Amino acid sequence: MIGFIFLILTSMCFHILFEYKRNFKLIYIFKPLTTLLIISLCLYYGISSNKNLVLLALVFSLFGDIFLMLKEEKFILGLASFLVAHIIYIFAFSENLTHLQVLPVVVLTSIAILIYSYLYRSLKAMKLPVLIYVMAILIMAISSWQNYLEYEGRETLLALIGSLLFMFSDTTLAINKFKFQHQSFTFLIMFSYFSAQILIALSTVVSR
C-alpha cells in the first residue's frame, strides 16, 4: 500500500507543478490520474462498510475534476458534481450515527456563516448555488465529526481530517475565484483537496 500512496503523491506533485507552469496538456493528464489512483486505492484495499459510498463519491469527484479543468462555462457542472460527491459522503459518514452532539454543529456552522458572509457580495449570480454547496460541505464535515465522536478510531479520524481539509480546500478555491487570486492558492487548494480524498479513501482501509 505504501507504494500505491507514493504513486498518488507523485502524481499529485506533478499536477501541482504543471498548474504553476500552466502546462494544460499535462494538467489534463495528472489531475484525473491522481483521482483515478485514489479510486483504485479505495477499490483495491477498502474493507469498511461504507467503501462503496466512498467509491461513488470519488467517481463524482473525478467528474468534478474534469469539468473544472474545462472552460469557464463548465464551472456549474463541476460544482454540481462535487455537490453530489458531498451528499454521498454525508450518507457514508452518517449511516451509523445514533446521537447528535452540539459541538460540531455550532463550531462548523459558525465557520461556514463567516466564510459565506465574507464571499457574499462577490458571488453575484452564484449566491444560491454557492449557498447550497456550502450547506452540503458543512453537513458533510459535521457528519464526519459526529461519526468520530461516536465511534472513535483511526478510520473515523481519517475521515474527519479529510472532510475538514475538503472544507479548507473549497474555501480557498472560493476565495481565489470570487475575491482575489494569489499564487500560493494553487498549492493550498490542490494539496488540501487531494490530501482530503486520500485520507477519506484510507478511512475505508482502516477498521474501527
Handedness of CA 16, 21, 22, 24 (dihedral sign): negative
Query: What was the pLDDT predicted at 48?
Result: 81
Beta-carbon contacts of 1 under 8 Å, excluding residues fewer than 6 positions away, are 41, 45, 205
Answer for the pair 171, 196: CB distance below 8 angstroms, yes or no: no
Sequence-separated contacts (24+) of 27-31 with Cβ below 8 Å: 27/69, 28/69, 31/65, 31/69
pLDDT value for 99: 82
Our count of domains for the chain comes to 1
The whole-angstrom separation of Cα 6 and Cα 51 is 21
Q: What is the pLDDT of residue 2?
A: 81
Closest CA to 196 of 161, 146, 172: 161
Residue 12 in domain: yes
Establish if 136 belongs to a structural domain: yes
Residues 6+ apart with CB under 8 A from 39: 55, 58, 59, 62, 201
List average pLDDT for each run of 10 residues in the chain, which is 208 residues long: 88 93 89 94 84 93 88 78 94 85 92 93 88 94 92 90 95 89 86 95 79
User: Which pLDDT value is given to residue 124?
Assistant: 86
Residue 208 maps to a domain: no
Phi, psi of 158 (to 5 degrees): -60, -45
- 160 domain residue, yes or no: yes
Domain region containing 46? 2-202
Q: Is residue 78 part of a domain?
A: yes
Q: How far is CA 202 from CA 75, 85, 86, 89, in A?
A: 28, 17, 17, 14
In angstroms, rounded to a whole number, what is the distance separating the alpha carbons of residues 73 and 59? 21
C-alpha–C-alpha distance, residues 90 and 152, integer Å: 18
Has residue 140 been placed in a domain? yes
**How far apart (Å, rounded) are the C-alpha atoms in residues 90 and 108?**
15
CA-nearest of 192, 83, 99, 191 to 140 is 83
Q: Please indicate, yes or no, if residue 207 is contained in any of the structural domains.
A: no
pTM of the model: 0.90
